Amino acid sequence: MCGLPNMSVVIPCDAVETRKATNYLLLRHQSPKYIRFAREATPVVTDERTPFEFGHANVIRFRGEKANFAEAFDTGLAANYDNEREDLTIIACGPMVPEAMRAAWILKADFGYESRVVNLHTLKPIDEAAILRAARETSVIVTAEEHQIGALAWRVSSVITEAPQLYGVPVITGAIGVKDRFGDSGAPWELIREFEVSAEHIAKKAVELMQVKQAAATEKEHHLFAEPAVR
């Protein structure tokens, strides 16, 4: 769908965001449009106060454990977000947004990592500014999609690799998604683990990338302070 000229593509994360996207695209947006959403019940992580602007991503931040899962997070427009010097970014769309939020909780509770979760609900036109800011400010990007790796991961990677402002800036990327295999039948909670796209898998990938980042930083520091070679 993203390959079709002039096509708008939105992948809302829950029922509330689906209603907002549908109202906007049907009543206010003039162009071919496509909305992709899950058939099964998915966690509701937004409400009527949560911003939804076509073409503009949201940033979600874990703030601490709460009895109600959604209340443990703050959500706002990426364009209005002030950098909090997070360790990494998880970019997700659709039903992977709640999994990305759960991964952020795991990463904070188990590893002490702060995560910037980007809800990229509009895949076309893509919010390049939100992606580039995350890449520049955190330098570690994990994409999370619940289908074959590519539709989200490749578009995000393309934005990063084609941006002149990131030339020379080290950015480590990784992707979570279905790994080139046919589908199976089962309950959603079973399939999300079978296809390795759960919050636990996102967190594991994030930790791996953080280890790469830390190793690279250690190596750079070693080179900076190494004794000069005798000539």
Q: Which runs of E-coded beta strand occur in the chain? A: 8-10, 33-35, 58-62, 73-77, 88-92, 115-119, 122-124, 140-148, 172-178
Cα Dmax for the chain: 73
d(CA 210, CA 83): 19
Nearest-CA neighbor of 195 among 144, 146, 141?
A: 146
- Percentage with pLDDT > 70 across the chain: 95
Is the entire prediction scored with pTM above 0.85?
yes
Does the domain spanning 53-225 belong to CATH 3.40.50.920? yes
Per-residue pLDDT of 93-119, as tens digits, reads: 999 999 999 999 999 999 999 999 999
Per-residue pLDDT of 145-183, as tens digits, reads: 998 898 999 999 999 999 999 998 999 999 999 998 888
